[in-house]
Amino acid sequence: MLFLLAAKGMLRNLFRSVLTLLGVAIAILAFTFLRTTIEAWYAGVDAASQDRLATRHKVSITLPMPRAYFEKVKDRVTGITAVTYANWVGAVDPKDERAFFANFAVDGETYFETYDEVVIPPGQLAEWRTDPTGCIVGEALAGQKGWKVGDRITLRGTIYPGDLQLTVRGIYGTKRKTFDKSTLFFHWKYLNEIADASRKDQIGFLGIRVADASQGPAIARAVDELFANSDTETLTESERAFNLSFLSMFSTVLKALDVVSVVILCIMGLILANTIAMGVRERTHEYGVLRAIGFQPRHLALLVGGEGLVMGIAGGVVGVAASLVVVNAFGKWLEDNFGQFFPYYSMSTTSVFLGLGLAAIIGLVASLVPAWSAARLEVVQALRRL
């Protein structure tokens, strides 16, 4: 009966209830959408290869190391099956400078052996190796730009001054979903040629594949000991940790998203609290009647709290359902076009339950104060208010 009363109470002002419910739903939609985005961002990190290490400058990922480190590691460290090196170039397409895509200068001989999830038709790979200004592009990037094998393209340097004149020699796919499909690779030798004296013979990071993943930490230590007490000390980490420090360049954005998602929920909670409080104020007289008849303060608190809970859960269900639809619709598109950020863009079960749970909690919390004031009503005063 109390439940019936709560339900009917909500139906009484149907328009307002529906608006409030939609508000909760949209907040939950925004929340789960942002969560999914953040999770997708880290999904690449979590799905990192277990048997790979990366070596970088100890101080910062943005500082270079001498190329000689590559040879030294290759010759002196045991237990590794492949080593390679690359530089983050950061060049842009002058036709669309704001459309970011990753580009690396890589060692033609070793890079795709170390990162063997990259699939390139053997003929194309051979072609590229023989062309000093050739490049290999991801199938998503090629599709986006309309590039085909044989096309000549120009990239404008940002970190490295000058233009890069490249010819597309191959288009790659990937065996693992987490490997970005929108990256461009070209020869490190070409970059080294056009680099000014201060940047010559420098590399950004080393990629190392180990024979036995459990030996990873020991090998990482062995690598760093090679360069200990030199001018340029190194930090070798698992690929996962390396990706994380790479992501840390974007950490401000991620943190902002995180904060925004929480702020949205807080605002929603306040709006919901206000709506519920409004309902309580309107029904003060009715609550007075219930109290006169013999209902206890806790009954009224239950009535109001129940309303908040139902609002929260209903809004949560609608919001999560909507975000499932939205995430599915945009997920594929994002994976294809922004694979470097979202290799896995789909909603996790955690997100679903987090969305539902938070919606319910918000509903409850939002109704705390109104429930408390309903329970505290003085019967005679409430009855006089009409």
- Strands (E) across the chain are located at 52-57, 65-66, 80-88, 103-106, 118-119, 134-138, 152-156, 163-174, 184-187, 202-203, 205-210, 234-238
* From 130, 229, 252, 386, residue interacting with other proteins (rule: CB under 8 A): 386
Tokens of 61: 């990922």
CB of 262 or CB of 289, closer to other proteins: 289
Beta bridge partners of 83: 208
| Least gap, CB of 315 to other proteins (angstroms) | 22
Tell me which amino acid residue 187 is: H
**Which one, 14 or 197, has the nearer CB to other proteins?**
14
Pick from 28, 210, 220, 290: which binds other proteins (CB under 8 A)?
290
Give the total residue count for the chain. 386
* Spatial separation of the C-alpha atoms in residues 112 and 248, rounded to whole Å: 25
Site mask, other proteins, residues 362-381, x = CB under 8 A? -----------------xx-
Which CB sits closer to other proteins, 262 or 380?
380
Q: Is 332 exposed, middle or buried (0-12, 13-18, 19+ CB in 10 A)?
A: exposed
Binding span for other proteins by CB under 8 A among 30-38, 149-157, 168-176, 282-290: 282-290
DSSP, res 377: -
Q: At its nearest, how many Å lie between other proteins and the CB of residue 300?
A: 11
Cβ 9 to other proteins shortest distance, Å:
7
**CB-based contact 181:140 (threshold 8 Å):** yes
Closer to other proteins by CB, 221 or 376: give it: 376
Least distance between other proteins and beta carbon 278 (Å): 17
Q: Where are the beta strands (DSSP E) in 115-232?
A: 118-119, 134-138, 152-156, 163-174, 184-187, 202-203, 205-210
Q: Which of the residues 154 through 213 are near other proteins (CB under 8 A)? A: none
Nearest approach in angstroms of CB 294 to other proteins is: 3
Distance CA 10, CA 356 (A): 20
CA distances from 199 to 35, 216, 234, 359 (A): 40, 30, 18, 54
The contact mask relative to other proteins for 295-334 (x = CB under 8 A, - = no) is: xxx-------------------------------------
What 8-state DSSP symbol labels residue 102?
Answer: -
Nearer to other proteins, 4 or 197 (CB): 4
Binding string, residues 4-33; x marks residues near other proteins by CB under 8 A: xx--xx-xx---------------------
Which residue in the set 18, 228, 263, 289 belongs to the binding site for other proteins (CB under 8 A)?
289
Among the listed residues 303, 232, 308, 231, the one whose alpha carbon sits nearest the alpha carbon of residue 276: 308
Stretch that binds other proteins, among 2-10, 71-79, 270-278, 350-358 (CB under 8 A): 2-10
Query: By rule CB under 8 A, what count of residues binds other proteins?
Result: 23
Note the residues at the interface with other proteins (CB under 8 A): 1-2, 4-5, 8-9, 11-12, 285-286, 289-297, 379-380, 383, 386
